[in-house]
Amino acid sequence: MSGTDDRWNAFGDGRTVSPAEFVAASAALLDGAVRAVSGPAAEVRAHLVAGLAASLDLAGPYATTRLDVPATGNAARAELTASAAAAAELIMDLVQAGAGSGGGRRVTDLRSPCVGYGWTPSVVEWLMGPAGGHPARNLYNEWLHQLVLLRDALIPFDRHGETRLLVTAEGLRRIVDERDRFVLELTTRRIAHRSVVRFAAVAAVGGPGPARLSAYGFQWPGGSVLPAVLSRGDLLAPRYRLAWSPEAVLDDEEQPLFFVPAAADYLELPHRDLAALPPEEPATGRPVTARLVRGESAADAGTVTLDLEAESAGPARGPWRVDLGQALRGHRYALRPDAAAEPGPPPETTVVEGRRLLPEPALFTARTGRYRLLTGGEPLPALAVLGRLHPDGTVLYAGEGRAAVESTARRSEPVLLLDVRQ
């Protein structure tokens, strides 16, 4: 892609930029398209911006990513659909607030290969009719394509405005093939979490990571990306979205690192019955703290494991290590009552302090009975407890009534309620 004047951006061989910076740079394309049309500039601009809104919509004849298919039973698609809608809203707000802010660049034409997006009738009338021409069509096509790519590149992320993406002189065209792979999986089946992480890595650092990788996050010298539950500090946070951070998790690493679970298959880990827990120690209720540290498990080149290192005061102080990858698996798989469910008394349960599981290197389940595990509501210690639970039948409990909990668990007797309240 080359322009007859300067390029439409100053991104060069690669820069990480925010959505606001990207939209501001792309305004040079919109400005050029408006200038190339013989018509009142304000009216032309309004129709071209409306065409972008139709393309960013998730339904309708001009949608470029259709996500209006019912997502019943597909929590990943439902969550990522909400993310796509929020990203589109952010882009439209930025466009409408700053149209015409293309950094002073004046682009009169460029080669923009057709990508097959449908244009609204008013856009067709302005660009394909006598008022338009090749330059106007090229510039609008490129502007539309770049902002659709921006919307889709933001789908894996939480807090889109804070996210930074790697762009080049060709904008985001470098992600086209990975974007197509990601959207196809998202729209046709239950998307694997590794696919979300892979696409996020392509968008943020330029590569998908080692082959056949089941990573849950990554870092590079310019920052890190981990599941949003870690940055939000709330176990009821989105389970599939990722959060960008300018800080690396592990210091003094010059190459990208991908974070992987210590066990590729959690079914191979040791299992224990909660009924076999050692007797309760005296002086219960001691606070537990936890922090992220480099994992002790071996990993392949370019990958590393992370642990939650937890400890408390008292005779059994720890520290105890829980694989973060397994804890995040548990977070993704855990069932959640409807957020609108009425509060009420929980089902009758055996109450156990979650910290009692931390010294035991196994995944706990319950062959009989129902248990409620207390966490104190602190996010990292609660996540560590989640890393000690077998994912099947675990419910994140926040005070909902018995009917809501049992409906969520799809059974009359939920097995494990992880109490996430303070």
Whether 252 is in a domain gets the answer no
As given in the structure block, the two tokens for residue 369 are 């009975």
Q: Above 80 in pLDDT, residue 361? A: yes
Q: Which of 225-229, 280-284, 322-326 has the lowest mean pLDDT?
A: 280-284
- The residue with greater pLDDT, 150 or 408, is 150
Mean pLDDT of 223-238: 94
Domain boundary, last residue among 157, 187, 217? 187
255 located within any domain: no
Q: Is residue 198 part of a domain?
A: no
Q: What per-residue confidence (pLDDT) applies to 1?
A: 41
Q: Is 252 a residue whose pLDDT tops 90? A: no
Residues sharing a CB contact under 8 Å with residue 84, sequence separation 6 or more, in sequence order? 58, 65, 67, 151, 152, 155
Domain boundary among 135, 169, 187: 187
The mean of the pLDDT values for the chain is: 89
Q: Determine the structural domain holding residue 285 and report its residue range.
A: 268-419
Do 142 and 275 share a domain, yes or no? no
Count: domains in the chain: 2
> Does 131 fall in a domain?
yes
Q: What is the mean pLDDT of residues 119-140?
A: 94
Residue 21 shares a structural domain with residue 166: yes
| Cα-based angle 43, 46, 47 (whole degrees, multiple of 5) | 90
Residue 245 within a domain: no
Asked if residue 129 is part of any domain, the answer here is yes
Same domain, 179 and 84: yes
Interval 85-94 mean pLDDT = 98
End-of-domain residue from the set 137, 166, 187: 187
| 3 band by pLDDT with thresholds 50, 70 and 90 | very low
Q: Is residue 209 part of a domain?
A: no
Beta bridge partners of 17: 165
With CA atoms as reference, report the closest residue to 88 among 171, 150, 167, 27. Answer: 150
pLDDT at 46 exceeding the cut of 80: yes
Q: Structure pTM?
A: 0.93
Indicate if the pLDDT at residue 339 is higher than 90.
no
| pLDDT of 411 | 57
Structural domain contains residue 251: no
How do residues 166-204 score in pLDDT, each as one tens digit?
999 999 999 999 999 999 999 998 999 999 999 999 999
